[in-house]
Structure 1
Amino acid sequence: MRSAPTILHLDMDAFFAAVEQASKPSLRGKPVVVGGLGPRGVVSTASYEARVHGVHSAMAMAHARRLAPHAAYLVPRFGIYRQISEIVMALLREASPLIEPLSVDEAFVDLEAGGHAGDPRAVARGLRADIRAATGLTASVGLAGSKLLAKIASEKAKPDGLVVVEPGTERALLDPMPVRTLPGVGPATAEHLRRAGILTVAEISRAGEGELVRLLGKAHGAGLHAMAAGVDNRPVVADRDVKSISVEDTFDTDLTDRAHVRYEIDRLAERCVQRLRGAGRSGRTVVVKVRRYDFSTLTRSETLRAPTDDPAVVRETARRLAEAVDTTGGVRLLGVGVAGLADFTQEDLFAHAESELALHGGSDQGVPEPLPSSPPPAPERANRWLPGHDVVHEVHGAGWVQGSGVGRVTVRFEVPSDSRPGRVRTFPVDDPALSRSDPLPLAAQREHGPPGAPGTRHVSEAAPDPQDAPAARETP
Structure 2
Amino acid sequence: MKRNVVHFDLDTFFVSVARLGNSALEGKPVIIGGNSDRGVVASCSYEARRFGVHSAMPMKLARRLCPGAEYLQGDMDSYSYHSRVVTDIIREQVPVVEKASIDEFYLDLTGMDRFFGCSKFTAELKTRIIKESGLPISYALASNKLVSKVATEDAKPNGQMEIPFGAEKGYLAPLSIERMPGIGLKTSSLLRRMGVETIKLLSEIPEPMMHNLLGKSGIGLSRKANGRDESPVIPYSEQKSIGKEETFGNDTIDMQFLSGELVRLTEGVAFALRKQQRLCGCITVKLRYANFDTVSKQCVLPYTANDDVLLAKAKELFAKLYDRRMLLRLIGVKVSHLVGGYQQINLFEDTEENVRLYQAMDAIRAKYGVQAVSRAVGMHKARR
Which residue among 214, 218, 221 is the counterpart of 2:218? 221
User: Is 1:206 aligned to residue 204 of structure 2?
Assistant: yes
Q: Deviations over 1:385-431 (max 9, x none)?
A: xxxxxxxxxxxxxxxxxxxxxxxxxxxxxxxxxxxxxxxxxxxxxxx
User: Is 1:269 aligned to residue 311 of structure 2?
Assistant: yes
Which residue among 315, 320, 338 is the counterpart of 2:377? 320
Q: Deviations over 1:434-461 (max 9, x none)?
A: xxxxxxxxxxxxxxxxxxxxxxxxxxxx
- Cα offset, 1:211, TM superposition: 2.1
Alignment of 1:158-197 (within 5 A): 158-197=156-195
- 2:300 aligns to what? none
User: Is 1:230 aligned to residue 287 of structure 2?
Assistant: no
- Cα offset, 1:298, TM superposition: 2.9
TM-score by length of 2: 0.67
* Structure 2 unmatched runs, 5+: 243-268, 275-305, 318-332, 339-344, 346-351
Alignment of 1:112-191 (within 5 A): 112=110, 118-191=116-189
Secondary structure of 1:232's aligned partner:
coil
Secondary structure of 2:31's aligned partner:
strand
Of structures 1 and 2, the larger Rg is shown by: 1
Aligned partners of 2:356, 2:225: CA distance in 1, in Å? 40
Distance 1:322 1:130, change over 3 A: farther
Q: Greater CA deviation, 234-243 or 188-197? A: 234-243
Aligned partners of 2:77, 2:114: CA distance in 1, in Å? 33
Contact 1:22 1:28 survives alignment (8 Å)? no
Distance 1:271 1:318, change over 3 A: farther
Aligned partners of 1:62, 1:266: CA distance in 2, in Å? 25
Q: List structure 1 segments (4+ residues) > 4 angstroms apart after TM superposition.
A: 113-118, 264-268, 271-278, 290-296, 299-303
Q: Greater CA deviation, 94-103 or 235-244? A: 235-244
- 2:361 aligns to what? 298
- Cα offset, 1:274, TM superposition: 8.3
Aligned partners of 2:41, 2:69: CA distance in 1, in Å? 13
Contact 1:141 1:154 survives alignment (8 Å)? yes
Name the aligned partner's letter for residue 228 of structure 1. A
Contact 2:41 2:58 survives alignment (8 Å)? yes
Aligned partners of 1:118, 1:13: CA distance in 2, in Å? 27
Aligned partners of 1:322, 1:40: CA distance in 2, in Å? 30
Aligned partners of 2:99, 2:315: CA distance in 1, in Å? 22
Distance 1:280 1:8, change over 3 A: closer
Q: Deviations over 1:231-261 (max 9, x none)?
A: 101110112536654699xxxxxxxxxxxxx
* Structure 1 unmatched runs, 5+: 249-263, 282-287, 304-316, 325-364, 368-476
TM-score by length of 1: 0.55
- Cα offset, 1:271, TM superposition: 4.7
Secondary structure of 2:138's aligned partner:
strand
User: Is 1:27 aligned to residue 31 of structure 2?
Assistant: no
- Cα offset, 1:280, TM superposition: 6.0
- Cα offset, 1:164, TM superposition: 0.1
Contact 1:147 1:234 survives alignment (8 Å)? yes
Contact 2:151 2:161 survives alignment (8 Å)? yes
Aligned partners of 2:312, 2:229: CA distance in 1, in Å? 41
- Cα offset, 1:146, TM superposition: 0.4
Which of the two has greater helix per residue?
A: 2
- Counting matched residue pairs gives 290
Aligned partners of 2:355, 2:225: CA distance in 1, in Å? 42
- 2:71 aligns to what? 73
Contact 2:41 2:56 survives alignment (8 Å)? yes
Aligned partners of 1:224, 1:184: CA distance in 2, in Å? 7
Alignment of 1:51-66 (within 5 A): 51-66=49-64
Name the aligned partner's letter for residue 225 of structure 1. S
Query: What CA RMSD, in Å, does the superposition of the two structures yield over aligned residues?
Result: 3.5
Contact 1:291 1:298 survives alignment (8 Å)? no
Aligned partners of 2:104, 2:356: CA distance in 1, in Å? 35
Secondary structure of 2:230's aligned partner:
coil
Alignment of 1:353-372 (within 5 A): none
- Cα offset, 1:277, TM superposition: 7.0
Contact 1:140 1:162 survives alignment (8 Å)? yes
- 1:98 aligns to what? 96
Aligned partners of 2:188, 2:119: CA distance in 1, in Å? 34
Q: Deviations over 1:102-122 (max 9, x none)?
A: 111111011137677641111
Distance 1:71 1:79, change over 3 A: same
Contact 2:270 2:307 survives alignment (8 Å)? no
Name the aligned partner's letter for residue 103 of structure 1. S
What's the % identity of the aligned pairs? 33
Q: Greater CA deviation, 234-243 or 167-176? A: 234-243
Alignment of 1:324-335 (within 5 A): none
Aligned partners of 1:232, 1:85: CA distance in 2, in Å? 27
Contact 2:112 2:118 survives alignment (8 Å)? no
Contact 1:97 1:113 survives alignment (8 Å)? no
- 1:39 aligns to what? 37
Secondary structure of 1:166's aligned partner:
coil
Aligned partners of 1:237, 1:196: CA distance in 2, in Å? 36
Which residue among 87, 90, 112 is the counterpart of 1:89? 87
Q: Deviations over 1:126-179 (max 9, x none)?
A: 111111111211100010010001111111100011100001111221001111
Distance 1:272 1:136, change over 3 A: farther
- Cα offset, 1:184, TM superposition: 1.2
